Structure 1
Amino acid sequence: MIDGHMHLEYGPLDKEYVLEFIEEAKRKGLSEIQILDHTHRFVEFKPIYENLRKYEVQDKWLDGKLKFCNSLDKFISLMEEIKKMDTGISVKYGLEVCYVPEYEKFLRETLSKYSFDFLVGAIHSVDGVLYDMAFSKELLWDKYDVNHIYKRYYDLVFDLVKSNLFTQLAHPDTIKLFNYYPTYDLKPTYHELAELLNEHHVKAENNTGCYYRYDHKDMGLSDELLDILLEHKVEMITASDAHKPEHVGSYIKEVYSKTFPAQ
């Protein structure tokens, strides 16, 4: 079993901390883990977040602890050292990149300078407003039409996939995390997403983070979206979205058989 999405975000970039994630993965019976951090940790990606600063609360969040505090070189050096160790488990590393279409050229030029095992693309904001923070309800959800938010979110997801920058799509339906839902039928959107993922050779995550981090009823992807991805034979990967060592592998066993029913 693979946990394809976990973050060092709340801890230091040092070997001892990474080994805590590895030991938890082994304890949970995982065969492989993918370690990544958000691009907002690394100084190289600071420009792509400038469009969030128009709101004071988002500006304050970006100036908070562990934002733009490390260089990519430090992260890469650490993870290369880890990969040379006999840890008893396969360890890969990459980034979770906040895709912002206005900065696609910047992202392409920056990412081309490095070699990662994988690159995860994620949408965390809709037209300059973060949708997954406590303050997002006031800034976004209670202010704008939910149908419009969903349509813009999936437009951005489609652009992300079509950019050919990424090998993996982070938490495809995490837009549901606060239980806001559109009134229109999402199935055509899901079919289009599945076709794009196949066309551009991008894996989709069955990510359990919404379940245990936001108390959402779905343990991973919604049944509707998962069924459509499986119908289209989209390549899948299970992921916990762990932000702490103890969360590594969370509910991976529970979603594994649904994600890979033929195995």
Structure 2
Amino acid sequence: MLVDGHMHLENGPLTKEYVMEFINEAYKQGFDRIQILDHTHRFKEFEVIYQGVKEASDQQREWLANKKMKFKDTLSSYVCLINEVKEEELPIEVLFGLEVCYVPEYKEEIRRILESYQFDFLVGAIHSIDGLLYDMPWSKEILWDKYNVDDIYHRYYELIFDLVKSGLFTQLAHPDTIKMFNYYPTYDLKPTYHELAKLLVKHHVKGECNTGCYYRYHHQDKGLSKELLDIFKEHHVDIITASDAHKPADVGTCIKDIYKLCQYD
């Protein structure tokens, strides 16, 4: 089954017509199932969990103040859209969820918000190291060139482990996208990867092989690093392929290149 397990409505409206652009593109490419979501920073209900990100730097505060993109919609409006699309006769299987920016100190607040809704899947993601975003144009200035890279990696995977153990999520977003700017630790990551794989299996959380780091940020790996992918397969992690598309034209990007690598014999 050809699956794209992660694509965003972020750059468009919450309308059935816009959703159908993603569905039609996936159908044209021969996908059997897609999973549509959006970042929690789109929704008003989640603004509280970004307080630490706002306070950590002026750039981040300004980025989150853009009300044309951030905290502009409600979860109820998203649910209405989901129900509207699901009433249609669709050419492929379409699931809907959220990508939740996981912040440990707001774990129970996240749980409280989510318990009022029934989504097909929930993706947990780490985008910041204690409030400092690692994947933005200003990240080198505020994080990578300011702090020890080993410490950043240690903390990133501590946060990932806590996310997986929280019981909130069915899927882990881009597990090794911390590599995106080609900063690497001096220590061996294999023990960390083995621990992560065991946790994913224990807590029944899927691990993404996400191509977004490759085509959106020009990292050399088309998905997971070979080392991490091999360890996931060794432990029989449930691996889901994902494009991280942020527009319809990017649906399925490079997934066919990595699909067979992610399958079990």
Q: TM-score range by the shorter chain?
A: over 0.9
Q: Which residue of 2 aligns with 1:52?
A: 53
| Aligned position for 1:7 | 8
Alpha-carbon offset, residue 240 of structure 1: 0.2
Alpha-carbon distance, 1:84 to partner: 1.7
Q: Please, what is the CA RMSD of the aligned residues?
A: 0.6
Which residue, 228, 239, 242 being the options, matches 2:242? Answer: 239
1:68-93: per-residue Cα shift (whole Å, max 9, x none)?
A: 00000111110111112112110000
Match of 2:178 among 175, 179, 198: 175
**Which of 193, 202, 223 is the matching residue for 1:220?**
223
The amino acid across from 1:4 in the alignment is G
Amino acid at match of 1:205: E
1:112 aligns with 2:115: yes
CA deviations on 1:124-161 (whole Å, 9 max, x unpaired) are: 00011000000000000000000000000000000000
Partner of 1:17: 18
Letter in 2 for 1:190: Y
Q: Deviations over 1:54-110 (max 9, x none)?
A: 211100000113100000011111011111211211000000000000000101111
Could you list the runs of 5+ residues in structure 2 that have no partner in the other structure? none
Correspondent of 2:260 among 244, 257, 261: 257
- Write the distance in 2 (CA, Å) between the matches of 1:236 and 1:35: 17
Q: Is 1:98 aligned to 2:113, yes or no?
A: no
1:61 aligns with 2:63: yes
> Partners in 2 of 1:41 and 1:196 — Cα distance?
29
4+ residue runs over 2 A deviation:
none
What does the per-residue CA deviation read over 1:192-240, in whole Å, with 9 as the maximum and x for residues that have no partner?
Answer: 0000001100000000000000000000000000000000000110000
Amino acid at match of 1:202: V
Matches within 5 A, 1:74-85: 74-85=77-88
For 1:30 and 1:73, the matched residues in 2 are separated by 28
Measure how far apart 1:27 and its partner are.
1.1
Asked whether 1:130 is paired with 2:133, we answer yes
For the residue of structure 2 that corresponds to 1:53, the secondary structure is helix
Amino acid across the alignment from 2:41: H
Report SS of the residue matched to 2:38. strand
Give the equivalent residue in structure 2 for 1:27.
28
Structure 1 CA distance for aligned equivalents of residues 264 and 123 of structure 2: 24
Q: Distance in 1 between matches of 2:58 and 2:163?
A: 27
AA aligned to 2:229 is L
Structure 1: runs of 5+ lacking an equivalent: none
> Take 1:110 and 1:15, find their aligned partners in 2: how far apart are those partners?
24
Q: Among the aligned pairs, what percent are the same residue?
A: 64
| Match in the other structure for 1:87 | 90
- In 2: Cα distance, 1:80 partner to 1:92 partner: 11
Name the amino acid aligned to 1:82.
V
Which residue of structure 2 lines up, in the alignment, with residue 149 of structure 1? 152
Distance 1:84 1:223 in 2: 41
2:49 maps to a residue whose letter is I
User: SS of the residue aligned with 2:182?
Assistant: coil
Distance 1:63 1:33 in 2: 31
